[in-house]
Structure 1
Amino acid sequence: MAGTARAFPEGRLVYGMQLPVQSQSPLYAEPWEASAGAEDLAEVARAADRAGFAYVATCDHVAIPRRLAGAMGAVWYDPVAVLAFLAGITERVRLLSHVAVVGLRHPLVTAKQYATVDRLSGGRLVLGVGAGHVREEFEAVGADFGGRGALLDESMDALRAALGPQEYPVFEGERFAFRDLAQLPRPVQERVPVWVGGSSPAAVRRAALRGDGWLPQGDPRDRLPAQIARIRALREAAGAA
């Protein structure tokens, strides 16, 4: 049964984890995951919940092209389905998409899915978003791979509106526009946290200026202080700190 969301305490170190089983890249998957299933995934999530982890996270890929299957693996569970499953079997741990490639879907579709997860979990969603890197996925769904950075920026703006408090959200952008379309249920949280994934200069800037948090990608530990300082400086310069 879902419980009340646990806030992230300011100034305090907390731990979260990317869950096993739900994504099985050869870069990090353990041999036991190949034959694991829903109960194994559930037990790890329950253990994290009991141990006081801040969040558990799931990945997002629609389809892996043959040319990348050897390096990335082919097992990638749908993140919304996994987070909804976990919402019903955990009580306090936050549920993070790490990360949702939101450019692959219309913002109203993404908002409907993740607002439902937030509602089912009692307000425990953290929406992690990223630009994506697999050209074939974008081409398969008719999305703009070459313009994925600008696509992500506009998608984030549209999601802020669509996940906000209004039953009839309003947004006008270059790619997306909507009004007079009811979206219920609304999220439990008044403001769903949006964390930006990636460590490129563009991703770091996006995290600073558009996000509520940052999800580094492949940074060695000794590089993190400089990246965090950069984010703080950008936020201060924009008056967002």
Structure 2
Amino acid sequence: MTFTLSTTLPFDHIQHPDQFVSMEALHECARAVEEAGFTAGTVTDHPVPSARWLDNGGHYAQDPFVMLSMVGAVTTTLKLQTNIIVLPYRNPFITARAVASLDRFTNGRVILGMGAGYLKAEYKALGVDFDSRNDLMDEYIRAMKLAWTGEDFEFEGTGYKALGNRMLPTPVQTPHPPLLVGGNSKRALRRTVELGDAWHPFIVPKAVTDTARTANISGDEDILEAIAYMAEHCEKVGRKEPPKVICSSTFSLVGDWSAQEAIDHFAQLKSLGVSGAGASAFTDSRGEYLDQIRRFGEEVIARIDF
């Protein structure tokens, strides 16, 4: 299978702590995802979301690098993906150190999905300027890339300065793990071309993107327009190989979902030029979650030949 498939790991479902918030749950779910044949298991990033957002449909999130470290310890081939980390929340060298350590100790299994985020209250709680998030995002990617060289480096950023610093060991993957740039805006597309390896769009109905205050990417035409825009920007900046397009979750494993519908859905995405996507199971019990994941492996992943 060359078309990659990720799945959202269920450890944010804190409303069911006996089902998903334990080491036993982590072991069972991580191993089931790997055995089903998924390319990657993903976690998200909300260190301190506002109560208002949580009470209006938002969700909690565990620390992404803690969770992926534990998942990496009980799997051997599953890729460990952030989907996404909000890059401006942390000093870039702290993030670069976490990524390099995780990639080194899991023998090159990290995929770094990242975005600028949209929760103003969370930015405020973390002491980061919300209006500067896009500039910080670009700056932090450049800073991390320098740190991952393993060489002595100098870098002056916003409120911090490296005057001859070094970070070892470097990631196993060279020059660094794949950088998936999230975001649906034109700026995010330009950032992908200039600094990333793949575009990681948020493909949802327009009503959801309106609520999240991000550009709408909801159908085939939107995807094709974005790919064309990136191709134009590649020409403008001299990038020869265009970024891949790797979507986040685009198919839900809910109830008696159709395996053929899933296969057709992913085939359609591939026909547009998409290289990967995700499928996520939403259940109240660990047993049902494991059943859905195993069924997807047997009836979808095993049958995909593109």
Query: Which range, TM-score by smaller chain?
Result: 0.7 to 0.9
| Deviation of 1:72 (Å) | 4.1
Task: Write the distance in 1 (CA, Å) between the matches of 2:4 and 2:16.
Answer: 27
Task: Write the distance in 2 (CA, Å) between the matches of 1:45 and 1:92.
Answer: 11
Range 149-158 or range 64-73, more displaced: 64-73
- The one of 209, 217, 220 aligned to 2:218: 220
Task: Write the distance in 1 (CA, Å) between the matches of 2:229 and 2:12.
Answer: 32
Contact 2:19 2:25 in 1 (8 A): no
* Residue number in structure 2 paired with 1:36: 20
In the TM superposition, what are the counterparts of 1:224-235 in structure 2 within 5 Å? 224-235=223-234
Does residue 1:180 correspond to 2:164, yes or no? yes
Contact 2:13 2:21 in 1 (8 A): no
Task: Write the distance in 2 (CA, Å) between the matches of 1:50 and 1:134.
Answer: 35
Q: Of the two structures, which has the highest relative contact order with CA contacts closer than 8 Å and spacing of 6 or more? A: 2
* Residue number in structure 1 paired with 2:3: 13
- The one of 155, 170, 181 aligned to 1:171: 155
Cα shift readout 1:60-79 (whole Å, capped 9, x = no counterpart): 11111121111344521110
More strand by proportion, 1 or 2? 2
SS in 2 for 1:224: helix
Contact 2:93 2:147 in 1 (8 A): yes
| Deviation of 1:174 (Å) | 4.8
In the alignment of these two chains, the number of paired residues is 224
- The one of 63, 70, 73 aligned to 1:88: 73
Task: Write the distance in 1 (CA, Å) between the matches of 2:36 and 2:121.
Answer: 39
* Residue number in structure 1 paired with 2:213: none
TM-score normalised over the length of structure 1: 0.84
Task: Write the distance in 2 (CA, Å) between the matches of 1:22 and 1:120.
Answer: 24
Task: Write the distance in 2 (CA, Å) between the matches of 1:103 and 1:23.
Answer: 25
Task: Write the distance in 1 (CA, Å) between the matches of 2:144 and 2:13.
Answer: 25
Range 181-190 or range 200-209, more displaced: 181-190
Cα shift readout 1:72-102 (whole Å, capped 9, x = no counterpart): 4452111010111111111112111111111
In structure 2, list runs of 5 or more residues that go unmatched.
Answer: 204-216, 241-306
* Residue number in structure 2 paired with 1:116: 101
| Deviation of 1:23 (Å) | 5.9
* Residue number in structure 2 paired with 1:58: 43
Let me know the Cα RMSD of the aligned residues. 2.2
Task: Give % identity.
Answer: 32
For the pair shown, the structure with the greater C-alpha radius of gyration is 2
In the TM superposition, what are the counterparts of 1:99-178 in structure 2 within 5 Å? 99-166=84-151, 168-178=152-162
Q: CA, structure 1 residues 180+91, in 2 after alignment: closer, same or farther (shift >3 Å)?
A: same
Task: Write the distance in 2 (CA, Å) between the matches of 1:148 and 1:162.
Answer: 21
* Residue number in structure 2 paired with 1:3: none
